[in-house]
Amino acid sequence: MEIVSYRKVNMNDLGVNTDCEVFVAHIKVDDVDKRAEEMIKTISDTSWINQLNAVAQAAFEATSADTILKLVRNIHERISGDAITEEFGEYLVSDTAQSVLVDQFKHKKIPLAELLKPRISGNEGFDFHSECIDSLLTFGEAKYSGSSNPYVKALSQIVGFIEKKKDVAELVVLMHHVSKEAVDKCVQGIKSYAAAFSINAVKPNLIIRNALLSEETRDLLKHKKLYIIGVEINDPKLD
């Protein structure tokens, strides 16, 4: 995984007036199988459960076990020779985006959303989460395509989830993994969002700029922070 760039954006330079802090990142993944192996280690590491109280430990052990098996099996199928599926692609984009938030923007990592929810599959909410250094919960959505640049899908999904209050609904689970201050701010409507998407373009910077200027992004600029994360995936198995 290569961090091509990451920075804070002055939206005024793009003709947009907002108090929202906007950040962008451009990531390249050239060794997909290596990233897949790293994802297996991350998903299989359940040490985060040991940090919870006894009731929460029992609950998360019960809800995450089947999902861990499913995710690991899905990733192993990729390593064994299959090209990237949409499901694996979204895991890859989610995990990569969250890694950037943690490593470059100094967020606190939260276990992959699918491990925290009592289901084996299906998209019922945000894909990944983190906590900013100033105690803001970040709700992330990831989209993958092998041929297009699905930033509109990622951004519009976030807008739709906000309208349905799915971010607030997830607090009953997230409260076990973030600070009380972050939870309190979220209840007050002070939140952060991240849109992560695969990039299939000769000029990735142009795609990220288009995402910044999209109508969906404007809908999200009323919030405290917004992260736009483009993941360029070069898969030799597609050559």
Q: What is the reported pLDDT for 110?
A: 85
CA–CA distance, 185 with 225 (Å, rounded to integer): 13
- Neighbouring C-beta atoms of residue 129, cutoff 10 Å: 28
Cβ atoms of 135 and 179 within 8 Å: the answer is yes
**pLDDT tens digits for range 200-219:** 988 999 999 999 999 999 99
Q: Is it the case that residue 236 has pLDDT exceeding 70?
A: no
Entry field: residues in the chain: 239
For the whole model, what pTM was predicted? 0.83
> CB atoms < 10 A from the CB of 144, how many?
24
Helix spans in 45-109 (H):
54-79, 86-103
Task: Find, among 106, 170, 67, 223, the residue nearest to 98 by Cα.
Answer: 106
Single-letter code of the amino acid located at 213: L
Specify whether the CB–CB gap between 117 and 129 falls below 8 A: no
Q: pLDDT at position 18, please?
A: 95
Could you tell me the two tokens for 51? 């940090």
Write the pLDDT tens digit of every residue in 22-71: 999 999 988 777 777 777 777 666 665 666 677 667 666 666 656 666 66
Least confident range from 11-20, 49-58, 154-163: namely 49-58
